[in-house]
Amino acid sequence: MILRPIQKSDYAALVTIADESGHGFTSLPNNEELLQKKIAHSVNSFTKTTSQPGDEGYLFVLEDTETGEVVGTSGIEAAVGLDDAFYHYHLSKVIHSSRTLDVYKAVDILTLCNDYTGATELCTLFLKDGYRKNYNGKLLSKARFMFIKQHQQRFAQTVIAEMRGVSDENGSSPFWQWLEEHFFSMDFPTADYLTGIGQKVFIAELMPKYPIYVNLLSKDAQAVIGQVHDNTRPAIQLLKSEGFTFNGYVDIFDAGPTVEAKVDNIATIRNAQNFSVEIGEMTGDTMVLLANDKLEDFRATVAPMVFDERSNSLVLTQQLADALHLKSGDFVTATPV
């Protein structure tokens, strides 16, 4: 299983993944023209010379090299909100008190904001059903941290990830149902799709401008604020293990949580080390995440081996070195999964 940058030839595979991902997967709408643009933008981003984060979007695919099938995707947006407003609700408290009446009450409110403008976003993580096993999910997610480590000048110091919120099999979101009833007259899949294809102006036009008192929402809507979709639980647990935290920011459509971390606090980035490559026979059973230090030619995988973090070199088989586009004497970045 090799993770690599997406190519234009992966278009058909990305259409299939977009179809399978279903409602609520905003960053991969089922729109063929948009998907083609997304691939082209990614290809351009990998070839672009830059010393600071801008509008680059890096899209990776996970390929089963035995079959040639693309079985998953994940992405990184270098800096969000520079071209289009990047909205969140921030969950906070206000105090209602009266000394005269001896009343003191803390009330939760949701305030529309753009606080994450300029942050780097992890996005577009999806793995096909039959491949949600072994270390595939971890490779698809964690390899992005290896890429950020290798090319830190391309990314912001704050990294965020929007987690898919609660919705049913028909794409109905309890949180959005309340907003729809009072403000939008538009179902959740439609609003989510419009956002995915970049038509966000309706948010500014129709979203309530003042803070929303959470206790005025329906009980169902209140219950899902900051909660994730069942399919997203493994993803958020993985990010929490990397050092990501939830600081009260939620999606404006389904109220799913957004988690954040500083680059230097992300476990994989902090722990990964560079080793010189030696070609030989591999032994051992420590599962190790491996990545080269290239840009357009980036490759990453997970493999069992003898791993000693005090060593200066790692032994790779010729086959594995070829898969990672490495040769003897090159450097490989590695850390135990």
Q: List the catalytic residues.
A: 229
- C-alpha dihedral sign at 292, 293, 296, 300: positive
The CA distances from residue 162 to 87, 185, 229, 294, 332, in Å, are 11, 25, 12, 27, 30
Take residue 57 and report the two structure tokens written for it. Answer: 């979007």
Q: Are 51 and 30 in contact, with CB atoms under 8 Å apart?
A: no
Q: Are 300 and 3 in contact, with CB atoms under 8 Å apart?
A: yes
Residue 72 has phi, psi (to 5 degrees) of -170, 170
Residues 6+ apart with CB under 8 A from 239: 122, 141, 161, 259, 261
Paired with 108 in beta bridges are 93
Residues 6+ apart with CB under 8 A from 269: 145, 146, 148, 149, 263
Q: Are 319 and 303 in contact, with CB atoms under 8 Å apart?
A: no
CA distance 176 to 90: 16
